[in-house]
Amino acid sequence: MTGSPELRLNDGGSLPQIGFGTWPLDDDQAARAVAEALRVGYRLVDTAARYENEAGVGRGIRASGLSRSEVILTTKIRGADHGYDSALRACEASLERLGTDYLDLYLIHWPLPAKDLYVETWRAFIRLKEEGRVRSIGVSNFQPTHIDRLVRETGVLPAVNQVEIHPDFSQPDLRRWLAAKGVVVESWSPLGRGELLDHSVIRRLAGKHGRAAAQVVLRWHLQLGLVAIPKSQNPERIRQNIDLLGFQLDEDDLAAMATLDGDHRLGGDPDTFYED
Ligand code: A2P
């Protein structure tokens, strides 16, 4: 059984709870994997200018045979393009590479507080939404202080914050804060880049439910009310990662999963991470 439940966004849109992640695929790998993902039921595809695979993602979507309106397409602005005018130009360049004339979701990839241009970038995002180039706007790797500042200076709350979340780094405080604000949380590296899948607790739960380890972890994201965007290049695993509806983790399972949280970040710290 495939397909995934949907979450309503604060701007009226919605996202399926399982999407397809494309980092670190190159153009050709992304084209193949995205076409396969759409074939087996994914409808949310996630890329970023920084991944340098937008052209491949666009090819994969066209190869799927689905119409553009059936696919929810996310990309993200890179650090070098922060700023009002440069953000408007960056969006056009992403649309061109993707071969489409609108985005469903556009995210500021990192806040880059040292650059201090994320508010200006956000003003450009607000305009892109008003002009219909982008359906929903959001952020990635933002801390509460960054989001508070966006709201204080522009009055517009992001629809989404995409952050690192997996059982070894479950960010309970940030999740609670975002839930209270009405911001949907997307988990990047939801499988902990695959490193977690051999853990004894996850293997035990996989055995108990007769499911793969990755399915247990993705079911955990679903039950926490998150959108997860696992990446895989392997057709069998691509299919497995969206086949999550026939079982449920019970309270004991969730308590066991909670013991895995080592507050262990795999990627950058949003307060200090810098990229162009
Ligand atoms: P592969 O592309 O060979 O399937 P994350 O999305 O957390 O960054 O994790 C991605 C990593 O997890 C990749 O190395 C991917 O490898 C691996 N992976 C993805 N899905 C599965 C799965 N169902 N079972 C095992 N490994 C997986």
pLDDT digits (tens, 9 = 90+) for 234-257: 999 999 999 999 999 999 999 999
Nearest CA residue ID for atom 15, ligand 1: 232
pTM score: 0.98
117 and 82 Cβ atoms separated by less than 8 Å: yes
- Per-residue CA distances from 183 to 136, 147, 226, 237, 248 (Å): 12, 10, 11, 29, 25
Residue 161, helix vs strand vs coil: strand
Q: Is 32's C-beta closer than 6 angstroms to any atom of ligand 1?
A: no
Q: Is 194's C-beta closer than 6 angstroms to any atom of ligand 1?
A: yes
Q: Active-site residue 51, yes or no?
A: yes
- What pLDDT band is residue 1 in, cutting at 50, 70 and 90? very low
> Which of 16, 12, 22 has its CA nearest to residue 59?
22
Structure tokens at 107: 């995210």
- What pLDDT band is residue 274 in, cutting at 50, 70 and 90? confident
The Å distance, Cα 157 to ligand 1 centre, comes to 32
The Å distance, Cα 53 to ligand 1 centre, comes to 18
Predicted pLDDT at 275: 84
Q: Is 232's C-beta closer than 6 angstroms to any atom of ligand 1?
A: yes
> Which of 219, 260, 253, 213 has its CA nearest to residue 237?
213
The Å distance, Cα 264 to ligand 1 centre, comes to 18
- Looking at the predicted structure, is the pLDDT value of residue 171 above 50? yes
Rounded CA separation 37/73 (Å): 13
Q: Is 195's C-beta closer than 6 angstroms to any atom of ligand 1?
A: no
- Looking at the predicted structure, is the pLDDT value of residue 94 above 70? yes
The Å distance, Cα 232 to ligand 1 centre, comes to 5
In ligand 1, the atom with minimum distance to the C-alpha of 190 is 7
Nearest CA residue ID for atom 1, ligand 1: 232
Q: Is 234's C-beta closer than 6 angstroms to any atom of ligand 1?
A: yes
Share of the chain above pLDDT 70, in %: 99
The Å distance, Cα 192 to ligand 1 centre, comes to 9
- Looking at the predicted structure, is the pLDDT value of residue 3 above 70? no
Q: Which of 170, 202, 234 to mutate to test the pocket of ligand 1 (most atoms within 8 A of CB)?
A: 234
Over range 74-83, report the average pLDDT: 98
Predicted pLDDT at 2: 53
For helices 251-258 and 213-223, angle between their N-to-C axes, nearest 10 degrees: 100
Over range 80-106, report the average pLDDT: 98
Q: Is the peptide bond before 24 cis (omega within 30 degrees of 0)?
A: yes
